[in-house]
Amino acid sequence: MSIKISEAPYKERIGKGIDNDFMRQAVSSAQGRFRNGRLTQAEELGNWEDWRQLGEEIRSHTLENIDYYLYQLSEEVEKRGGNVFFAETAEEANTYIENVVKKKNAKKVVKTKSMVTEEIGLNKTLEEIGAEVVESDLGEWILQLDEDPPSHIVTPALHKNRQQIKNTFQDKKGYDKSDTPEELASFAREQLRQDFLTADVGITGCNFAIAESGSVTLVTNEGNAEMVTSLPDTQISVMGMERLVPTWEDMEVLVSLLTRAAVGQKLTSYITTITGTRLEEEIDGPDDYHLVIVDNGRSKILGTEFQSALHCIRCAACINVCPVYRHVGGHAYNSIYPGPIGAVLTPLLDGYEDHKELPYASSLCAACTEACPVKIPLHEQLIRHREIIVEEEKKSPASEKIMMKGFAQWASNPAAYKLSTKVARSALKPWTKEEYVENGPGPLKGWTDVRDFPAPGKQSFRSWWNKRQKGGEA
């Protein structure tokens, strides 16, 4: 998998999302709970705006000096016996990791949840050289067994119900118990425990790398990151280059923002902070440690008006308040990064060509900007994307171009305009039900696929005006 998750066109993906009742219900209730959790935590602190301000200042300072802090990070990792590989592209990162796995003659690789490894398509690379790759986050494991992409960056299997999960476990792992979440999770515990114990290599993502000590912080609830970093002798951490903080003190503030904004917890069950290889006479932890720092398009965003998009700490608070995400779900964005931050980041990382619809998947209500714990002006960046697409790239969605072109020609010709406003009502009659057009033809289809359109009035404004002037009934 790469950043894109399918080849299906935008409208088709949206249609699928809207038709999926379970998914929409699940997303809606998850959004409500996540949002309440965040608001409760914010209220309890009392000075949430100060926390956001601090978060923004830490992120700005770090990104402004990213070369300095990455240099320091790599020096410190080396001091603690680790190797550091700077990868400009996904291919470079994959090749390096592939070589480590080959060199170790590794049969089994066990992973923590990591968006950047999804982004670079690491699992596929490793499977191609014959390694068994096991995702150990419960949600990711479910999706891996079902070969399905994530639909949310915090709860990746949000779109699946327990019956589907039970069926997947039955088909792929011979599960024979009920569909209660407890029994399903207990089955995953048994199955994955064996994988942790027999894996040759552990691969983790990285929530925050700490430059001053060469440490990597992982924020989890299930305990799988502890397993992955404690048991295999070889460990590889993969980080997007911006997932960085100067010191432990900064890490602490951002973790406090992340766990509150993401899941409404003061801290998650595990904040695991690992530094280099295990020390002399220690038993748990790797004796061979690698940190892979990935650019993959991020550096192009530095120094641009979108730089603050790199401040993102992947909490999904913007996703959890987005009314568009609520209705179409994560897969409609065709990116492993959905929701408002996905609509901002995906075109920056992967180009406008395949993702030009994303900045339009927003009502610009600004709920995302207000929710962001590090104050990224998300809706303003979406507007900038639209401007760039329309003005510079001339890549606005085809339907919009045709409609706008047609509208210009039609509106500039008084006779045509007059005629069509007159006939619109009767012309649309076949599609009209109780004064609403439900399944409109031609250019109206794009609109009425997702919402109804009021049927044209019995008379046009012009004829109403003329009649009124003549003293007729209004």
Partner 1 sequence: MAIQNRDSFLSNLAANLGRPQRRESVSRPEYSVQPQHEVFKDYSAEELIGVLKEHCKVIHTDFVRTDKSDLQATLKRVLDGYEAASIIASNDKRNQEYGLDKAYEEFSKEVDVHIWDASLGKENQVIAERTDVGISFSDITLAESGTVALMTNKDNGRSISLMPKCYVAIIPKETIVPRMTQAAGKIHQDNEKGIAPPSSVCFVTGPSNSADIEMNLIVGVHGPVKVTYIVVD
Restricted to residues 45-64, the positions that interact with partner 1 (CB under 8 A) are 45, 47, 50-51, 53-54, 57-58, 61, 64
Smallest distance from partner 1 to CB 208, Å: 11
315 labeled part of a ligand binding site: yes
318 annotated binding-site participant: yes
Phi/psi at 295 (5° precision) = -90, -70
- By the 10 Å C-beta count (0-12 exposed, 13-18 middle, 19+ buried), 210 is classed as buried
Is 341 a binding residue for partner 1 by CB under 8 A? The answer is no
Only segment of 121-129, 245-253, 362-370, 394-402 that touches partner 1 (CB under 8 A) = 245-253
Distances in whole angstroms, Cα of residue 36 to Cα of each of 312, 318, 382, 389: 21, 13, 25, 35
- Minimum distance of partner 1 from residue 309's CB (angstroms): 14
Crossing angle, helix 162-173 and helix 181-198, to 10 degrees? 40
Q: Which is nearer to partner 1, 241 or 341 (CB)?
A: 241
Q: Give, as ranges, the residues between 190 and 219 that touch partner 1 (CB under 8 A).
A: 192-193, 196-197, 212-213, 215
The binding track of 248-287 with respect to partner 1, each residue x by CB under 8 A or -, is xxxxxx-xx------x-xxxxxxxxxxxxxxxxxxxxx--
Residue pair 168/146 in contact by the 8 Å Cβ criterion: yes
Per-position b or e across 405-421, b if 16+ CB within 10 A of its CB: eeeeeeeeeeeeeeeeb
Q: Which two tokens stand for residue 37?
A: 């959790």
Our finding on whether 236 is near partner 1 (CB under 8 A) is: no
Q: Residue 259's closest CA among 325, 175, 317?
A: 317
Q: Does 403 bind partner 1 (CB under 8 A)?
A: no
- Contact status: 231 vs partner 1 (CB under 8 A): yes
Q: Which of residues 107-146 bind partner 1 (CB under 8 A)?
A: 136-139, 142
Q: Which residue has the tokens 């929710």?
A: 371
User: Which of positions 53-112 make contact with partner 1 (CB under 8 A)?
Assistant: 53-54, 57-58, 61, 64-71, 74-75, 78-80, 82-88, 92, 96
The site for partner 1, by CB under 8 A, has a size of 109
Kindly identify the residues of this chain, within the stretch 18-47, that bind partner 1 according to CB under 8 A.
26, 29-30, 33, 45, 47
Strand 288-294 relative to strand 234-240, pairing: parallel
Q: Tell me: does residue 181 bind partner 1 (CB under 8 A).
A: yes
Q: State phi, psi for 21 to the nearest 5 degrees.
A: -60, -45
Under rule CB under 8 A, which residues in 290-319 are in contact with partner 1?
293, 295, 299-300, 302-303
Residue 44's Cβ-count burial label (10 Å; 0-12, 13-18, 19+) is exposed
206 annotated to bind ligand = no
- Known binding residues for [4Fe-4S] cluster are 312, 315, 318, 322, 365, 368, 372
